[in-house]
Chain A
Amino acid sequence: MTAPRSRSTPRLSLRPSVAVKVASTINSMSRLLGRGSGTVIGGRAGLAIDPRLLTILATDRNVALVSGTNGKTTTTGMLVAALTETDSIPVVTNTTGANMPAGHVAALIGTRPSGTVVLEVDEGYLGQLIEETRPQVVVLLNLSRDQLDRIAEVRMLVDKWRAVLGSLEPVEPGGTGTVVVANADDPMVVWAASTAPEVRWVGAGQVWRDDAVGCPACGGRIVFEATGNWYCDQCEFARPERFAWLEGETLVMADGNRYPVVIGLPGQFNRANAAMVAVAAAELVGTYAQPRVSVATALARLAVLHEVAGRFSTVDRQGRVIRLLLAKNPAGWTAIFDLLDESPSAPPVVLSINARVADGFDTSWLWDVPFERLAGRTVVATGERCRDLAVRLRYAEVDHKVVPDPLEAVDAAVRVAAPSARPGGPPSVEFLGNYTAFAQLRSRL
């Protein structure tokens, strides 16, 4: 895995070059006109002219893909940081979270063909991205219920992943093939990735287990032990031998090496993402622009991140520090609640829920989120679906106020919040939003 990979380059016929031009022109026009960041529209136009555009753009690149239900954007940001040497050619990535093929095309257009590419991939498009970009590394984080009206149920998705991961090429000494870095603690991820020829199993942890009780192999019952180990009570399916695992704040390699995982981002789930990234980064073949990195270097570089695409960032408003948190499904919300100060004097919380395409139209998942944990604190419900949220909070017996406009909701919380000691200090207000609710508030702050 040391030499750069070579693959036959598809002949650049007229169509792809026209497609590339159209996509990049539309992107720059869209940026100039201030109509969004110019990511998706140009990519869509390019793909309409030549559906093979992504294949052509990804040829001869070192590609890493990141997918899973939660932590995709943050982990992608971490992997980019881990691979980035100061002053080097930038790693190509889809920073804006546009994680479907049009977004991938837009990210690749106009970039130097020598750089490493790190792409966040929507779960439903992983198969297509693997076929078209022939990645060196695929990082699979976790799988749980999310947007059930758009993305399939977990087991339908896992069956698709299983088929495509089973068709990966084995890693050859010449540097071809794909290494899958997969979370060994998530039975659904393991079932999907166990068909792949080359897997680095990382014990990254998985707090949410409610979608993994039924064995995907035989329909038996998955038994979770207190240690985190798991097995099926009826068949051979069990946690695989791990290549590395997280022990509290230490990444332990099966070969005996131990690395402290000290990160700027909050939460054990981000330590888990960092562990996956460290293993993945070390598997990527280096290029001139991005030389190969060690686990230790990767961890040191990603430690400096304090926010990714606005997630975990703070803004100051009228002397109050507001922390912006994104969670979009029960597993994500449960993990985010672990970050909150749960003392009686805890800061007020603003909860914002939308139900657009990117959020899922069905809000029933709110009833799987343990909102009961917010009892006793000041809670403001907002967003386009604040009515659904309000009813959920009522049955959780959490006192709350409903303020439909998100900015007015934040200001209602700011009015009762204690002033912050200093800008960038501990938050005086916590804002938690799902996908489009988070983006909406950020654009207005």
Chain B
Amino acid sequence: MIASAGRRPALTVVVIYPDLLGTYGDGGNGLVLARRAEWRGVEVNLIQAPSDRPLPRGDLYCLGGGEDGPQVRAATTLIADGTLLRAAADGAVVLGVCAGFQLLGRQFPDAADRPHDGLGLLDVTTRKGTNLRAVGELVAAVDDAAPRSADGSPLPLLTGFENHGGVTTIGPEASPLARVITGVGNGGGDGTEGAWTQRVVGTYLHGPVLARNVALADLLLGWALASRGRTLPPVVLDDGEESALRADRLAGVGSLRSTRAGRVRRGRG
């Protein structure tokens, strides 16, 4: 796991501020990326980067869900730090989930509905939704125009668990990641879930999203390696357990759909 001293590892994965954006288990995305690269023989340095230190340079950054106050603090700290903005401009891959997705955008609200500046890496804007929070399993079909797997095939259905009160609208410089089949997603009435621009991807899906959707994990790994002039080694992993989980969740959604209204509770976030 830890790269040997003195040599730059092939890939550095940075989980951004687990102390502020670690509430929803999304730190697992970093672990999934690191293991899937290692299992294919790629040396990886996985860094958990706390908010009280300068953000390290990395090839692939993950941001997770968090509470309202810590979300504001994370955005303010990242803007002041500057590393993520510079790294993204240099081609680093960025995955933002929930609060982490919102703060990659232009603007997002706090608990009192005051707007705060995001990093502007994604052309999306989040506002406070109605009193109803979107809570439950989500299934979405990846958009036709969204990035495809290395072999050119479209990504399979996205599955995950959403839990948010924000409504996100996508501007002209970003594109939707997927179209909602079951669930709420971005919630702006256009049926979209998540957004992407170049090498920045945002989504509302927990699970964590990369454990439930390993094809997306491999896509992000491929991008990150490409910017180092490498490709993901064509080692086929035994994803039997991941497939069993996907099948279980996709089958479960049908039976959950009828109770969905009961699983939306009041509040925001």
A interface list, Cβ under 8 A from B? 145, 148-150, 152-156, 210-211, 213-214, 216, 219, 221, 361-368, 387-388, 390-392, 394-395, 397, 402
Contacts and interface: CB of A to CB of B under 8 A. Distances in A.
Interface centre among B70, B207, B245 (most CB of A within 10 A): B245
Interface in B208-249: 208, 211, 241-242, 244-245, 248-249
A364 B26 contact: yes
A94 to B, nearest CB: 24
Contacts of A392: 28, 211
Nearest to B34: A395
A155 B208 contact: no
Interface string B21-40: 01111111001100100000
A162 to B, nearest CB: 14
A391 B241 contact: yes
A75 B52 CA distance: 36
Contacts of B25: 362, 364-368
Given A156-B267, A391-B211, A214 B241 contact: no
Interface residues of B, number: 41
16 contacts: A155-B67, A155-B69, A213-B70, A214-B69, A221-B52, A362-B24, A362-B25, A362-B206, A364-B25, A367-B26, A367-B31, A368-B25, A368-B27, A387-B249, A390-B241, A395-B211
Given A156-B269, A395-B35, A362 B244 contact: no
A152 B28 contact: no
Given A219-B69, A364-B25, 19 more contacts: A150-B265, A153-B23, A153-B269, A155-B67, A210-B19, A214-B19, A214-B67, A219-B72, A221-B51, A361-B161, A364-B161, A364-B207, A367-B25, A368-B22, A387-B249, A390-B244, A390-B245, A391-B211, A392-B211
Interface centre among A155, A156, A362 (most CB of B within 10 A): A362
A126 B194 CA distance: 36
Contacts of B135: 149, 361
Given A366-B25, A394-B241, A154 B248 contact: no
B73 A219 contact: yes
B166 interface: no
The 10 tightest CB contacts between A and B, nearest first, are A367-B28, A364-B25, A213-B19, A367-B25, A214-B70, A387-B245, A362-B161, A364-B206, A387-B248, A153-B67
A145 B51 contact: no
Given A368-B25, A394-B241, A155 B207 contact: no
Given A213-B19, A362-B163, A387-B245, A395 B26 contact: no
A397 B24 CA distance: 21
A363 B209 CA distance: 12
Contacts of B24: 148, 362, 364-365
Nearest to A218: B69
A211 B31 CA distance: 20
Contacts of B241: 387, 390-391, 394, 402
B137 interface: yes
Contacts of A145: 23
B20 interface: yes
Nearest to B246: A387
